[in-house]
Amino acid sequence: MNEKLKEKTREALTSVLPITVIVLVLSVTLVPMEVGTLALFLTGAVLLIVGMGFFQLGAEISMTPLGQGIGGSIVRQKKTWLAVVICFAMGAIITISEPDLQVLANQVAAIPNAVLIWTVAAGVGVFTAVAVLRILYRVPLSKMLLGLYLLLFVVSLFVPNEFLAVAFDAGGVTTGPMTVPFIMALGIGFSAARSDKDSANDSFGLIALCSVGPILMVMLLGIFYHPTETIYDAVQLAPVITTQDVALAFLQDLPHYTAEVLQSTLPIVGVFVLFQALTRSFQPRQLVRMVLGFVYTIIGLILFLTGVNVGFAPVGNLLGSGLGSGPLRWALLPIGMLIGYYIVKAEPAVQVLNEQVEEITGGTISRHAMNRALQAGVAVAVALAMLRVLTGLSIYWVLIPGYAAALIMSRFVPPVFVGIAFDSGGVASGPMTSTFLLPLAMGACSAVGGNVVTDAFGIVALVALAPLIAIQIMGLLYARRTQAQTAPNILDDTVVELEEY
């Protein structure tokens, strides 16, 4: 187990190190920082690396077996109504426990936090049930996504402009580090129990459909509440002078994030206890391993969220302000691309998804190929987000052609790539996006005198959109390569048959 933890921590180090180097270079060139601020950032980076290592190992040995066990058990019951009820409840429970949703709720002043959280949870619950029904009844994912996104854009015509970007951002933040491992495993459990030739393809797509629910529900809330203000409280740097001040800044916030993570994981632990009591699915040795996995997951999330929120987010806002107010403000585009390229690897849920993709496809789609495609897509997305910050370009001009391209491509891409692509959209827009990229965009937007609500919000939505196109392009290339490899074999077989004749 210790060797496995070291391996996960090394992977986290390679993911976070590039972002750390970029910030260090910027701090001594374009955006000079105080030494105390830099110390906060570096301490946050260390916590981030250790936290990612613990979280990835914990999710692998606890959340994944639990999701697969519940999915397989529900299918074996052969009661559709039971699957719908349980999946609705599981989707809602896990969404309420998602830390990113709490962050979003605090920023939307027009709607009470509890109303927003419960409405989004209901949306995810409904679409979790819909996603499972799709697997059971073998409905093509591409057709379902086409209908749902057409519905979203029709409803968006009636949503106040000040609320539109927030609604699309909601789809990204609700599929975060708590939700993704469980829902991915739930889909694998359902499809494995089905045991047909298309079951592996249908194991993907749950996260994609679960991302639609929050967008639709937040849009409806925007229409119902007629919000006139949607604000984001800019993150503040902790006042630090000495190294002791740096340590105190993290220690003071540690209890808050510990309580938040414990509150978030309690419903999932309750589901685990109830499932085991009813089914006795796990043997004593596996139970001990899963309990240890939950402990690792909790420790990892506490360290990760503390490091990100205390060390990373304030520096992101500071970088954005410094770059936006300087004479080289257009440097935000290449710098945004560079940060976007590397930051996606630092998302904890991305690595969970990539490992499961590699496992389900038998190594046909490797985690390295997934990482490269996601990095390229997110780099372009962050550059577009910075362009919106600098020019005030409406988010419609990016979302409509982007989703149109993704949905058209889904008709020509192998089904497994469609599910992976749309799942990746929700996974890529995790806590690093909402707590580093969003403050970066907000700081830059404030510096250039733009409208923060309409121009800076939406970066999560663009990051969620990019993998839909990038992964499907990878799918098209994969399909062409497969056809090119099989064509000579077919020709050779034909020649042999003719010679024998």
pLDDT over 50 at 495, yes or no? no
Is the pLDDT at 337 greater than 90, yes or no?
yes
Which helix (H) or strand (E) segment holds residue 430: the answer is none
Is the confidence at residue 386, as pLDDT, over 90? Answer: yes
153 φ, ψ (degrees, to nearest 5): -75, -30
491 — pLDDT class (breaks 50, 70, 90): very low
Q: Residue written as tokens 């902790």?
A: 238
**Residue owning tokens 């027009």:** 110
How much is the pTM?
0.82
Ramachandran bin of 229, using left for φ above 0, alpha for ψ from -120 to 50, beta for the remaining angles: beta
Whole-angstrom distance, CA of residue 157 vs CA of residue 152: 9
- Counting residues of the chain whose pLDDT is more than 90, the rounded percentage is 22
Pairwise pLDDT comparison (285 vs 263), residue with the higher score: 285
pLDDT tens digits, one per residue of 16-75: 888 889 999 999 998 998 888 899 999 999 998 898 889 888 888 888 788 878 877 877
Per DSSP, the three-state class of 249 is helix
Mean of the per-residue pLDDT values for the chain? 82
The whole-angstrom separation of Cα 167 and Cα 157 is: 13
Instruction: Say if residue 199 is exposed, middle or buried (CB neighbours under 10 Å; 0-12, 13-18, 19+).
Output: middle
Q: Where are the beta strands (DSSP E) in 157-273?
A: none
Instruction: Give pLDDT tens digits for 73-118.
Output: 877 777 788 888 888 888 888 787 776 676 666 656 567 777 888 8
Work out how many domains the chain is built from and give that number: 1
Q: Which of 212, 114, 205 is nearest to 171 (CA)?
A: 212
How many residues belong to the chain? 501
Which residue range is the domain that position 272 belongs to?
Answer: 2-500
